[in-house]
């Protein structure tokens, strides 16, 4: 069963280590001491906390769709040639890159600073673990 030090838990949740310490002190998140006397958070409890407190950025499009993987973000870069474009977005701290026609980029008005929603509909999702650990 994995355990995460406060700093690691903070990195996984995208907050500061001080925020995680406040949550632990307030009893919102359980922590124990490891063999070295450092506070650690049980991985399963951290995952449950992340799910319970997650708040997705509202999708401004108002469009109903079957794809469940929608990421609201800001366009950070657009590289175009006459036919194709590469659009980079930052969505909740994650970099998302899309290749699309330059015509679509123009029609959507995509440029750095634009608000956009990345919609991912895929039949394959690859999951990896750090260092090949299972």
- pLDDT given at position 108: 94
- pLDDT given at position 85: 96
Q: Let me know: does 114 contact 72? Beta carbons within 8 Å.
A: no
Say yes or no to pLDDT of 99 above 90.
yes
- pLDDT given at position 133: 54
- pLDDT given at position 87: 95
- pLDDT given at position 15: 86
Residue 60, number of CB atoms within 10 A of its CB: 10
Start and end residues for every CATH 2.40.50.100 domain found in the chain: 69-120
pLDDT tens-digit map of 84-93: 999 999 887 7
pLDDT tens-digit map of 107-131: 999 999 888 988 888 777 777 777 7
pLDDT tens-digit map of 12-70: 888 899 999 999 999 999 999 999 999 999 988 888 888 788 776 777 777 777 767 88
Q: What is the pTM of this model?
A: 0.64
Fold of 3-53: Multidrug-efflux Transporter Regulator; Chain: A; Domain 2 (1.10.1660)
- pLDDT given at position 82: 96
Q: How far is CA 16 from CA 32, 34, 41, 90, 130, in A?
A: 19, 21, 15, 19, 22
Assigned architecture for domain 69-120 = Beta Barrel (2.40)
- pLDDT given at position 102: 97
**If residue 49 lies in a helix (H) or strand (E), which one and from where to where?**
helix 43-53
Start and end residues for every CATH 1.10.1660.10 domain found in the chain: 3-53
Say yes or no to pLDDT of 11 above 90.
no
């Amino acid at each position: 069963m994995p355990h995460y030090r406060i700093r690691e838990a903070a990195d996984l949740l995208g907050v500061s280590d001080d925020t995680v310490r406040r949550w632990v002190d307030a009893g919102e998140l359980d922590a124990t001491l490891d063999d070295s006397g450092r506070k650690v958070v049980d991985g399963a409890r951290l995952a449950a906390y992340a799910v319970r407190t997650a708040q997705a950025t509202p999708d401004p499009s108002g469009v109903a769709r079957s794809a469940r993987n929608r990421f609201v973000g800001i366009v950070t870069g657009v590289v175009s040639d006459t036919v194709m474009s590469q659009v980079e977005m930052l969505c909740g701290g994650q970099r998302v890159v899309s290749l699309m026609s330059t015509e679509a980029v123009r029609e959507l008005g995509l440029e750095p600073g634009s608000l956009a929603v990345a919609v991912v509909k895929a039949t394959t999702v690859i999951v990896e673990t750090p260092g090949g650990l299972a």
